[in-house]
Amino acid sequence: MSETDDLRALMEADRWLDRVGSQKTHLPETAELAALEVELRAQLKVLNEAQAALAPVRSAYEVTQREGDRLRARAESLDKTLSSSTANSRELAALQTEVQHVRELLERSDDLELEYLIAVEPLDEAVNAVKAAAQPAVLRRSELQAAIVELHASLDEELVALRASRVEKCAALAPELLKRYEAALAREGTSGASQIVSGRCDGCRIALSPLDLDRWKGQPEGAFMNCPECGRLLMP
């Protein structure tokens, strides 16, 4: 292979490295995941608002339930006491009065419990509706995260192989030419060399002036002129 071929091989290796590296940082799955995260954050806000509205009503409902259970247990206990009591008439009257009072309290408690239940149901449904609406996005997020991990692993393997191949291609170049190439690569990125296509450097896309183009065409074999704009080594 000629020195031009060796230089071209290194240029292509670096361009492939750049493409694969860019692919890793610009995966469509990553963009989709970012958009999905925005959507899920919005849904989470709605869910938090729905849960905030539900929480005090549910808490009041549960307190009323416990109070109803307490009153029912008390009423049952008083009924048993009355049915087996051998107390005098005054004590029996006091028990009956307490039973009546407890049953009145229980009736009001049951009414209040029903009111809270009626209030809880639509709020509970609203929370469940938000969760159900978000479920497909949650599942898709998991799929995307797994796909991104797998793609990154595959691309990392490819990058390792490409870097190993690049080492071999660097070794094929003369030290001074490699030094010039690496300097242009460090300055411009992507690659340290470029080709002239229709009078343009395909690295920076700038057309060479007629004078520079003539100077480039007049270079002897194995000599490489730097692009006047980007500094990459110019090849046919």
Q: What does each C-alpha distance from 185 to 3, 77, 148, 209 come to in angstroms?
A: 18, 91, 29, 23
pLDDT score recorded for residue 222: 81
Question: Residue 147 phi/psi, 5° resolution?
Answer: -65, -40
| Phi, psi angles (nearest 5°) of residue 190 | 65, -65
Alpha-carbon span 207 to 229, nearest angstrom: 9
Residue whose token pair is 């692993």:
153
**pTM for this prediction:** 0.72
The parts of the chain modelled with pLDDT lower than 70 are 1, 87
Rg (CA), the chain: 40
Predicted confidence at residue 133, as pLDDT, reads 95
- Amino acid 186: pLDDT: 95
CB 69 within 8 A of CB 105: no
Q: Residue 221 has what pLDDT?
A: 82
How far from each other are the two terminal CA atoms of the chain, in whole angstroms?
15
Residue type, 58: R
Other beta carbons within 10 Å of 189:
12
Residue 183's pLDDT is: 96
pLDDT of residue 179: 96
**Looking at residue 87, what is its pLDDT?**
67
Nearest C-alpha neighbor of 224 from the set 195, 185, 186, 200: 195
The distance from CA 135 to its chain's CA centroid, rounded to whole angstroms, is 15
CB 201 within 8 A of CB 227: yes
Structural domains of the chain, with CATH: 3-173 (1.10.287), 177-235 (no CATH)
| Mean pLDDT, the chain, integer | 94
Tell me how far CA of residue 25 lies from CA of 77, 148, 149, 177, 204, in angstroms: 72, 10, 12, 31, 22
pLDDT at 81 (0 to 100):
85
